[in-house]
């Protein structure tokens, strides 16, 4: 079995030019499959709100909800690094509350790092959490928790600001940064300028790694997908076919047949 992924192994992968793989997961069975597939990072994303809870955006997700899901994911993983996503308003009220909430991911849910959204504006928080020994992954560009401020889920194109955000979160102690919804040439320049690994989502092929939302890339939800998502499987179709066949067979008296009966 391979050793569990750490911040050091991620740095080494960047240095060696090896691409980093990342996906989200929210529960034990799927996290087990992602871990067994050798995916380097599993993010228990607050995308949970949209793809599992059926909400319109990520804002309503609470600490207790995401901790519950993170604990399930952690129990399934022996290779992947588990990163807990800090929900909206869990790191904004004070540095003390941010440290307390970040600590809960490690103490109560078995994560080994946390992620939070924002660039220059959250560097104080990144610095303070990192100083306690908790690795922090930053997230810049399209930051879904600011959906109302951005006026929707929009690609971010302000190169100067994005570059400054990347450099500042690195300086504040982030071990990695997610680049979301950024034109490929800008993401490539940020990646070249940073020593920490960049993990892209809708940010082109030149990031150090890639992340997608599991339910999107496996076609678990039958929803319209953003342009940057490739559907690698259609689990929704397979499930709907299986469910229909079950209903048809029960109604026709075909299931259960002899082989499924106790004698
Ligand atoms: O919440 C999430 O799933 C994320 C990823 C899309 C990066 O933040």
Nearest CA to ligand 1 atom 6: 213
How much is the pLDDT for 225? 92
Look at ligand 1, atom 4, and give the residue with the nearest C-alpha.
45
Cα 17 to averaged position of ligand 1 atoms, centre (Å)? 24
Please report which helix (H) or strand (E) contains residue 242, including its range: helix 235-252
Instruction: Report the alpha-carbon distance of residue 31 to residue 183 in Å, rounded.
Output: 30
Record the pTM.
Answer: 0.97
**Residue 262 pLDDT:** 96
CA of 263 to the centre of ligand 1 (A): 50
d(CA 120, CA 111): 25
Name residues whose C-beta falls within 8 Å of residue 132's C-beta, 6 or more positions apart in sequence: 99, 102, 103
69: closest CA among 45, 92, 50? 45
User: What pLDDT score does 1 carry?
Assistant: 61
For residue 2, what pLDDT is reported? 81
Q: Match 């300086």 to its residue by tokens.
A: 171
Domain residue ranges in the chain: 7-232, 234-263
For residues 205 and 185, give the distance between their C-alpha atoms in angstroms, rounded to a whole number.
9
* Short-list 64, 35, 46, CA closest to 139: 46
Angle 117-68-180 (CA atoms, 0-180°, nearest 5)? 25
Q: Which of 138, 141, 211, 225 to mutate to test the pocket of ligand 1 (most atoms within 8 A of CB)?
A: 211
Q: What are the pocket residues of ligand 1 if the criterion is a CB atom closer than 6 Å to any ligand atom?
A: 24, 43, 45-47, 85, 139, 178, 180, 201, 211, 213
Residue 99 near residue 128 (C-beta atoms within 8 A): yes
The pLDDT, as a whole number, for residue 222 is 81
Cα–Cα distance between 45 and 263 in angstroms, integer? 47
pLDDT digits (tens, 9 = 90+) for 215-226: 999 999 988 899
Q: Which residue numbers are catalytic?
A: 180
- Residues of the chain predicted below pLDDT 70: 1
Assess if CATH 3.20.20.60 describes domain 7-232.
yes
Crossing angle, helix 159-172 and helix 123-131, to 10 degrees? 20
What local confidence, expressed as pLDDT, does residue 117 receive? Answer: 98
């Amino acid at each position: 079995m391979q050793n569990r992924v750490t911040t050091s192994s991620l740095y080494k992968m960047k240095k060696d030019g090896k691409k980093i793989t990342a996906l989200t997961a929210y529960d034990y069975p799927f996290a087990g499959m992602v871990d067994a597939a050798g995916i380097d990072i599993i993010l228990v994303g607050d995308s949970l709100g949209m793809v599992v809870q059926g909400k319109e955006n990520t804002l309503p997700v609470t600490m207790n909800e995401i901790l519950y899901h993170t604990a399930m994911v952690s129990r399934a993983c022996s290779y992947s690094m588990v990163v807990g996503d800090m929900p909206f308003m869990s790191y904004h009220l004070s540095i003390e509350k941010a440290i307390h909430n970040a600590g809960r991911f490690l103490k109560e849910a078995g994560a080994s790092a946390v992620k939070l959204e924002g660039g220059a504006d959250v560097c104080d928080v990144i610095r303070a959490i990192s100083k306690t020994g908790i690795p922090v992954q930053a997230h810049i560009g399209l930051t879904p928790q600011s959906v109302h401020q951005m006026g929707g889920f929009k690609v971010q194109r302000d190169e100067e600001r994005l570059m400054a955000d990347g450099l500042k979160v690195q300086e504040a102690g982030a071990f990695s940064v997610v680049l979301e919804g950024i034109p490929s040439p800008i993401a490539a320049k940020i990646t070249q300028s940073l020593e920490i690994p960049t993990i892209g989502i809708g940010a082109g092929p030149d990031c150090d790694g890639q992340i997608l939302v599991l339910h999107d890339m496996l076609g678990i939800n039958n929803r319209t997908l953003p342009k940057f998502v490739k559907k690698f499987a259609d689990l929704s179709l397979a499930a709907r076919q299986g469910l229909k066949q079950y209903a048809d067979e029960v109604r026709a008296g075909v299931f259960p047949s002899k082989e499924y009966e106790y004698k």
